[in-house]
Every structure is written in C-alpha cells, then in structure tokens.
Amino acid sequence: MKKIGLFYGPLGGSTERVAKKVAAALGTDHVDLIPAKESKAADVEKYENVIYGMSTIGKETWDADKPANDWDVFLPEVEKVDYSNKVIAMFGLGDQITYDLHFVDALGVVAERILPKGANIIGKVETEGYDFRESQALIDGKFIGLPVNEDFEPELTDERVNNWIDKIKGEFK
C-alpha cells in the first residue's frame, strides 16, 4: 500500500485523537498525519491515498464571513485538488444527541465540493447504530464517511474505527 496522507483538523481535541486511532489501525508507518490548516492543495496532491478528518461545528460557523476554523481555511484548497487517480476516505466527529438535525454535516459539506470533481470516496457507512434525525452527510442513504461521537459514545470509537479500517484498507492503492 502506498502512503496515506491523513489531513485533519481541528487540533488538540477529539478529531486529533481519532486521527491517531485511524493511523494506528492502518499501521502508523503507512500514514502521514498532517494538520489541515497548514496544508495546500499541492500537499494533498503528493498522495494517491488520502483521508480527510474533521469535526462539525455548526451551520453558523460554516456560514460565517471570515474563516473561523481549520476546515474553513482548508476547504478552498481541498476544492482545488485534482482527484483523478486518488482514493479518498473521510471521518467526521459529531454529536447526534445535541445536534440531531445536523449530525456530522461537515462530511456532507466536503463531499458535495469534491464529488463533482470526480473524487472516488470509499468507506461509506450504514446508518444502523446511529440515533439521529437529519444529516447532510447522507448520500443514497449512507454516511459518506465514518461518523464518530466522542462526546456521548466514546466507548464505541475503537470498534467503529477498527471495523471501518478493516473494510476499506484493501481499497487503498
């Protein structure tokens, strides 16, 4: 397997913790962990295998005038990437108890920017086991990436991450 570039943000919280779990599940030698906010499209283009890791911090943040978080800064770069010949997987931190109408929406926001550019997104996840009402991350009835809830279901994270990686690791180049 060629090296995977795992671009993630924000730093210092649940997203970073889960990024490290994803890297450990793949074998840390196979993964470069890279902060999203410091990255440009050219950094992503160095990799044929890419994982995007993010959290959802509400619609008001996405709609804000000025860049407020790591992914607001990184998203315009993500849109510039040439996705031909790349495999992409995504995971998203969220909380379906407090935000049951916007569960892991960020996954959907990113997917809708890169799917029209031909991105081959692997690792869709069934909704079974997630109790929520609405999510922008659903495409054809499945989550477009792995949802993780470290706020209320941290005991499920390791199993969710490991099952997901087991399913997708053979699909990386």
Ligand X SMILES: Cc1cc2nc3c(=O)[nH]c(=O)nc-3n(C[C@H](O)[C@H](O)[C@H](O)COP(=O)(O)O)c2cc1C
How many amino acids of this chain bind ligand X (CB under 6 A)? 18
- Asked if residues 109 and 136 have their Cβ atoms less than 8 Å apart, the reply is yes
3-state secondary structure of 74: helix
Instruction: Determine if residue 117 is left, alpha or beta; phi over 0 gives left, psi from -120 to 50 gives alpha, anything else beta.
Output: alpha
Instruction: Name residues contacting ligand X, limited to 4-33 (CB under 6 A).
Output: 10, 13-15
d(CA 68, CA 162): 31
Shortest separation between residue 92's beta carbon and ligand X, angstroms? 8
Return the number of other C-beta atoms located less than 10 Å from residue 28's C-beta: 11
Closer of 16 and 119 to ligand X (Cβ)? 16
Closer of 13 and 118 to ligand X (Cβ)? 13
Kindly state whether residue 157 participates in binding ligand X, applying the rule CB under 6 A.
no
Tokens 């295998």, located at residue: 49
- Contacting range for ligand X; rule: CB under 6 A; set: 33-41, 52-60, 115-123, 153-161: 52-60
In the stretch 96-125, what mask flags binding to ligand X with x, by CB under 6 A? ---x--xxxx--------------------
Kindly state whether residue 62 participates in binding ligand X, applying the rule CB under 6 A.
no
